[in-house]
Amino acid sequence: MIDVATIADIPLFEGLPAEDLERIAGWLEPIDVPAEWHLLNQGSYPDGFFVVLEGTVRIERDGAPVAELGPGEFFGEIGLLEENERTATVATATRVHAAVMDRADFFEMTAQIPAISKRITDAAIARFPKR
């Protein structure tokens, strides 16, 4: 479980009531990953949603760099929302401390907390508008 204070200032969770933050913290599990480790592989089956707490990850699509994400940013939502293969590979550029939520908890969160569902959907559309 992740501490509520750890997620309270993350933009995705900002402004949510304490009760919602408590539920979200309960769904998240902490992970520590070394640099140059693949967290997601393009084309694989989606099974998790990630929030970067410390460090940086690289996003690649078809082998080409697309973006870097750092603390407070999230990934893994597109494959889960589309119930399709992962659309990108995500590898750690540095050592990363992150929070991960499994598929079932992700859908429970988006069903129970509409504000989160909207924020995640808006981010997915902004990241991949032509899908």
CA distance 55 to 121: 24
- Which residues have C-beta within 8 Å of that of residue 5, sequence separation ≥ 6? none
Domain boundaries, the chain: 30-127
- Which CATH number applies to 30-127? 2.60.120.10
Spatial contact of 88 and 42, defined as CB atoms under 8 Å apart: yes
Predicted local confidence at residue 24, as pLDDT: 97
Residue identified by tokens 């460090």 is 55
pTM of the model: 0.91
A 10 A CB-CB count for 48 gives 19
Q: Give residue-wise pLDDT tens across range 111-125.
A: 999 999 999 999 888
84 pLDDT above the threshold of 80? no
